[in-house]
Structure 1
């Protein structure tokens, strides 16, 4: 009897989606936690824009940050290098259209060398 209860609870836990605090962002993208930062991923056609904010959701300058977006496109992972294009965001270009809500992760290296990553489901 105990086995069946544990099995039932285990299957329910597996059925619940894991949420990494993903919410809607100020720039029309999705926001998730990435270490001590929040990252907003905005995908339009082949372009990926990433906005970085601090824990208080204050925008941080993109200058000095480096990053990589690893997104699933048509069932295959695509690595997209992100570089600061202005003071507000990091941008990269994919080889194919991304859709508006691609799944994957963003890996960042901050100006101080610290790394962080955020997952988008």
Structure 2
């Protein structure tokens, strides 16, 4: 009986400690959508005529974007729109392009110039959410 009790305590303790390691929900600092990929956090902010992409590390610290470049592909119902991204100071990459209706659609983000290329997909946000 003691062996079963010790095993139960060990098992419960292991499960609880794993829960403490989880990051939980990603919080967007600029009102965009968040995704994690290749050890980085990406926040995509889509406006009518511009797209901003903020780069942070796993600890939410800004990652310099000065030597990077990227591309956002918005997967609209009418087709896809590709918007090139260039550094805009600090941890920000920006690109101009007509993205009407692209705020909540699926998007693919590619960033080059970090330790390794970062490719991430943001799913579409269901209507009404």
Same fold (TM over 0.5): yes
Q: Number of residues paired by the alignment?
A: 100
User: CA distance change for structure 1 residues 70 and 22 in 2, over 3 Å: closer, same or farther?
Assistant: farther
The aligned counterpart of 1:80 is: 83
For 1:48-59, what aligned pairs fall within 5 Å after superposition? 48-59=51-62
Say which SS state the counterpart of residue 59 (structure 2) adopts. coil
CA contact under 8 A between 2:50 and 2:99: conserved in structure 1?
no
Gapped runs of 5+ residues in structure 1?
1-20
The runs of at least 4 consecutive aligned structure 1 residues that moved more than 3 Å come to: 21-24
Counterparts of 1:72 and 1:24, CA distance in 2: 23
- Bigger radius of gyration, 1 or 2? 2
Give RMSD over aligned pairs: 1.9
Greater RCO structure (CA 8 Å; 6+ sep): 1
CA contact under 8 A between 2:83 and 2:96: conserved in structure 1?
yes
Counterparts of 1:96 and 1:62, CA distance in 2: 22
Counterparts of 1:78 and 1:99, CA distance in 2: 9
What TM-score does the superposition give when structure 1 sets the normalisation length? 0.73
Superimposed CA distance per residue, residues 73-116 of structure 1 (whole angstroms, 9 cap, x where no aligned partner): 2331111100011223100122342442231110011244x201
What TM-score does the superposition give when structure 2 sets the normalisation length? 0.69
Gapped runs of 5+ residues in structure 2?
1-23, 124-129
